[in-house]
């Protein structure tokens, strides 16, 4: 057993720590936030022990502070993610992600006849339920519920 205060991933000086990501969603989060395209220092940990999630992942981003809209894009894959804002090595703020009112891209429309499934059109949804997520397609108006949700 490791000591409780020992960190699996080193502390950062200034930036954002995204904690409580389900381990299975780590690569989706990286993709959604476009982390593969930035040159800041980024450290990851995955398959870490978590009482709440079983296995969790964590992402530490040096020098990056997100806008709410950007970060809420991860809510569909990491609904329990917590954002810790770090300044001079201290946690100065903690935020939870919130499912946004609109979703562009990220999710697939469940209707096989929807234009987004056979033309190169970015999906667009209105979020009609946030608890059990339900997404209403901007193009075909069909509802994609949590059970049928596929992340692109």
Q: Which residues bind ligand CTP (CB under 6 A)?
A: 7, 11-12, 17, 19, 58, 60, 82, 84, 86, 89, 91
2: Cα within 13 Å, side-chain hemisphere: 8
Is 137 a binder of Zn ion (CB under 5 A)?
yes
Residues 40, 42: Cα–Cα separation, whole Å: 6
Q: Out of Zn ion, ligand CTP, none, which partner does residue 140 contact, by CB within 5 to 8 A per kind?
A: Zn ion
Written as six digits, the tokens of 98 are 């919130």
- Partner whose footprint covers residue 82, from Zn ion, ligand CTP, none (CB < 5 to 8 Å by kind): ligand CTP
> Closest separation between CB of residue 47 and ligand CTP, Å?
15
Alpha-carbon gap, residue 120 to 112, rounded angstroms = 14
CB neighbourhood size of 4 (10 A):
5
Residue 119, helix vs strand vs coil: coil
For Zn ion, the closer CB: 52 or 113: 113
Of 53 and 115, CB closest to ligand CTP: 53
Contacts with Zn ion by CB under 5 A lie at 109, 111, 114, 137, 139-140
């Amino acid at each position: 057993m490791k000591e409780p205060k020992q960190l699996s991933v080193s502390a950062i000086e200034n930036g954002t720590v995204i904690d409580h990501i389900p381990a299975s969603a780590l690569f989706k989060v990286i993709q959604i936030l476009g982390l593969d395209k930035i040159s800041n220092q980024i450290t990851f940990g995955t398959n870490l022990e978590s009482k709440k999630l079983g296995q969790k992942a964590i992402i530490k981003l040096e020098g990056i502070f997100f806008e709410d809209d950007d970060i809420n894009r991860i809510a569909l894959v990491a609904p329990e993610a917590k954002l810790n804002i770090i300044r001079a090595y201290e946690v100065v703020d903690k935020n939870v992600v919130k499912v946004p009112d609109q979703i562009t891209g990220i999710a697939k429309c469940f209707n096989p006849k929807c234009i987004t499934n056979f033309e190169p059109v970015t999906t667009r949804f209105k979020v009609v339920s946030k608890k059990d997520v339900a997404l209403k397609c901007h193009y075909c108006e069909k509802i994609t519920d949590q059970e049928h949700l596929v992340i692109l």
